[in-house]
Structure 1
């Protein structure tokens, strides 16, 4: 009965999230439903105050700086004109003839540099719309191109990417954001190549059928906004290209510097003695990412000193923009903690752990299932690692598998079925692009599910055969 209660609760979570109900409400209510249906009515209030809220609070304590700094950096990049300068430079270099590659590359550069994928979607959409109209490519392929560049390889596979997904396994496995860099680069190349090839084949098919960009309701609105912005007085001057690139280089460069050189050369034993329960070497990956984001934000502020139109508004918008994502994800983590405390979860856990003698395969299945159910890569990853992370680390140690390989497989697995139709990021992207699921989702699924799944299979095979590299 408890297992059935969990399945019913998860099904309702997926359905209601797809219908647009906020997870801030869904998570505690459906966790309570699972507790009641499991026959543990007497444990309802302790399950909420002690289990749900403790897990939620623990997640916020661990990852709030990454969410906060990431959202702030993304807003600074957008409002300073740096994001637009980089995207327009890529557009000029490649031109409308390579509109799909241009859009994917622009999104990839910005997200790998630390700009929030939601900020990228908002910033890139007007450029992509102009490119696709010039190249006469169907608008329905615009959202899949943005999704490929923002929601896939730069989020989960590229070594050193400052995404929250790449930071979540650090405290569980004692790894860094640069874990298994060689495998990550191979996976990134595969995902990008497969996705671009698919989109170009859809473009060619549409052209053969006589389908072009088409007429859309937001075309007139875009023309009015462009005319209005060109007449705006006292607009800040565009950011020089070299200065626009600098913050992105700092995010990756400073992260690598502290990960590979500064922290390894330091004696951190005094910190372990000073702070109870701290194992400093397991936290250095997170510390390196925080330092990199702070450095990049500070650089942006200095580079545009005296030229910010509304700096306070930009900072406030960036900081406040981090609140909903972190509490959405933390609520899902709290939900997962309650589910994991139920007797029925033992059945599910044992089934997942025993699905294969290879810990990498078992881990991939667990991450995919939970990311798909929650519609969130970070949420599914957090729930899976909180409940099964210790088991996978123990299994990997017994099998001689590196924690770095576990890290990369976990993050990549969470980025496959997270983009099912109820995914909040997909719903937001379609809203930005003024498209419907019917128009664009099948192509989104092709580039965000099929390609990443094939790349994940290759990484598991190579990792099993050659180990982490």
Structure 2
């Protein structure tokens, strides 16, 4: 019981202080160790060095290349004027009144194309900043627009999405990424529609209050004179501006679906390469190769000055460091909490709710564990590794199609995971130069409440009509 109290208190403290913009680099280990003290079963110093810090290292070793390449890509797109050109084209096609939709759809296209969520944030922010500036929409709404397009329907609900949150349930329910496509599309439409209604209402309210974009500033790195580097007046052509983005999406798809799967990677099973398999590194490899190719293309198309290129590369690389360490510390916190005795009790409790309806039980378990760990994929993995087979058998006995179990599990992980302590949320706000107080209310509405509403709707329809 004391261990459970410690977990709850540490989680509440982490969320509260993160919301008040206290550095997660300090918060995450302190809150994790506070929970360890309450638990009383693990040595404090060993837990810090052998669980928390090892987890931080594991996250950085797995994802730092994506953060680094994504940040550099976003910076090159910004400094080359490509982001501004794309913004100009979108404004001309959709009009300034649809700026919010333009940003959301840009994120959705990249995410659905298989680009990592963190990479999408880095890549789209310069575009979003240009669009919002032209339309004079408050900067504080940029994180919510990116979150709606990246952290919601394209992450969990859209049939066939290559994001990991849609891939994890496949091995447990013997399904594929297109499981329950009809319900997935309905869930996607609900998330998108409710999110857009909220964001558009916030834009309208800002205009009534005569609130505009605000002061223009760098989100991460500032140039030496304290001013953001101006984009060249002569913007690139439309084709050359869009080419790198098309390269990322198209090459990522081709590599992940047709090229890398044909490679003979038996060597990965050896101790030297971590005793892994190709399927586990497929997404990372395809993203790295597609980003490197897009970077080369961007440089070839847009950079003639060696000094300007060196500055952009340096600033882009620097801007990746704090986000990756913030997120890694959140990952370390989640793994530390997972190691405590109280977590096993909580896990058993939440997975035992509504045993008569596997859909409800599964959704509550996945969402609760995602909230505790601050990770959608983390909560989903823990829940399904523990009770995935049980849910599968219960579903078969109750006449529930495994595809419906897959879709509910995937959608459920994308709700309470996005509370204020979530690593991706902290990274998003940091990159956009917006504090929790300024931007989290809108991020929470589109990435917590809208997905939860969509998941409840899909469970209701699935219970009545079955999978479709």
Normalized against structure 1, the TM-score is what?
Answer: 0.76
Change in Cα spacing, 1:445 to 1:284, as seen in structure 2 (3 Å) is closer
- 1:207-242 deviation line (CA, Å, top 9, x unaligned): 9xxx635156937999xxxxxxxxx99937312111
Is residue 218 of structure 1 aligned with residue 214 of structure 2?
yes
Q: Partners in 2 of 1:417 and 1:311 — Cα distance?
A: 41
1:355 and 2:353 aligned: yes
C-alpha contact (below 8 Å) 2:160/2:178 kept by paired residues: no
Structure 1: distance between partners of 2:265 and 2:216: 60
**Partner residue of 2:65?**
65
In the other structure, the counterpart of 2:416 is: 417
Counterpart of 1:284 (choices 282, 285, 304) is 282
Structure 1, 43-52 or 107-116: larger mean CA deviation? 107-116
Q: How far did 1:304 drift?
A: 1.9
* Separation of aligned partners in 1, 2:192 and 2:106: 13
Q: Distance in 2 between matches of 1:159 and 1:292?
A: 23
1:20 aligns with: 21
Q: Which residue of 2 aligns with 1:229?
A: none
Is 1:391 paired with 2:381?
A: no
Cα distance in 2, alignment partners of residues 235 and 146 from structure 1: 25
How far residue 73 of structure 1 moved from its aligned partner, in angstroms, is 2.1
Q: 1:311 deviation in Å?
A: 1.4
Q: What does residue 334 of structure 1 align with?
A: 332
Q: Mean alpha-carbon deviation: is it higher for 271-280 or for 250-259?
A: 271-280
The CA distance in 2 between the partners of 1:120 and 1:354, in whole Å, is 41
| Structure-2 change in CA distance of 1:411 and 1:23 (3 Å) | farther
| 8 Å CA contact 1:195, 1:451 repeated in 2 | yes
Give runs of aligned pairs for residues 360-371 of structure 1, distance below 5 A: 361-371=360-370
The number of equivalent residue pairs is 440
Q: CA deviation at 1:328?
A: 1.7
Q: What does residue 227 of structure 1 align with? A: none
Tell me which residue corresponds to 1:50.
50
Q: What are the within-5 Å matches in structure 2 for residues 189-268 of structure 1?
A: 189-200=189-200, 212=208, 214=210, 218=214, 235=232, 237-268=234-265
Q: Is the 8 A contact 1:419 1:426 kept in 2?
A: no
Q: Secondary structure at the match of 1:306?
A: coil
Match of 1:125 among 124, 129, 137: 129
1:233/1:441 Cα in 2 relative to 1: closer, same or farther (>3 Å)? closer
Partner of 2:302: 304
In 2: Cα distance, 1:404 partner to 1:80 partner: 45
Contact 1:71 1:319 in 2 (8 A): yes
Any residues of structure 2 matched to 1:125-204 within 5 Å, and which?
A: 125-132=129-136, 144-145=144-145, 147-158=147-158, 166-167=163-164, 179-180=177-178, 182=181, 185-200=185-200
- Whole-angstrom distance in 1 between the partners of 2:169 and 2:68: 21
Structure 1 residues 433 and 63, CA gap change in structure 2 (3 angstroms): closer
Q: How far apart, in 1, do the equivalents of 2:27 and 2:342 lie?
A: 20
CA distance in 2, matches of 1:58, 1:402: 36
Q: How far has the Cα of 1:71 moved from its partner?
A: 2.1
Distance 1:46 1:203 in 2: 49
Deviations 1:88-143 (A, max 9, x none): 1111112234444345435545666755425634542353243257xxxx998777
Cα displacement string for residues 353-392 of structure 1 (whole angstroms, at most 9, x for unaligned residues): 2224466644543443355456xxxx42354256445224
Quick check: 1:84–1:124 contact (8 Å CA) kept in 2?
Answer: no
Asked whether the 8 Å contact 1:88–1:127 carries over to 2, the reply is yes
Alignment deviations for residues 155-191 of structure 1 (CA, whole Å, 9 cap, x no partner): 55456778xxx3478689769xx93384655543332
* Distance change in 2, residues 1:434/1:15 (3 Å): closer
Q: Please tell me whether residue 322 in structure 1 is matched to residue 320 in structure 2.
A: yes
CA drift of 1:76 comes to 2.2
- Aligned-residue Cα RMSD (Å) equals 4.2
Q: Encode CA deviations 1:259-314: one digit per residue, 9 max, x unaligned.
A: 32224444444543584622223332332233222222222222224157721222
Measured against aligned partners, the alpha-carbon deviations of 1:422-453 in whole angstroms (never above 9, x if no partner) come to 66747975996889958x76655443333222
Deviations 1:242-264 (A, max 9, x none): 12222222222222222322244
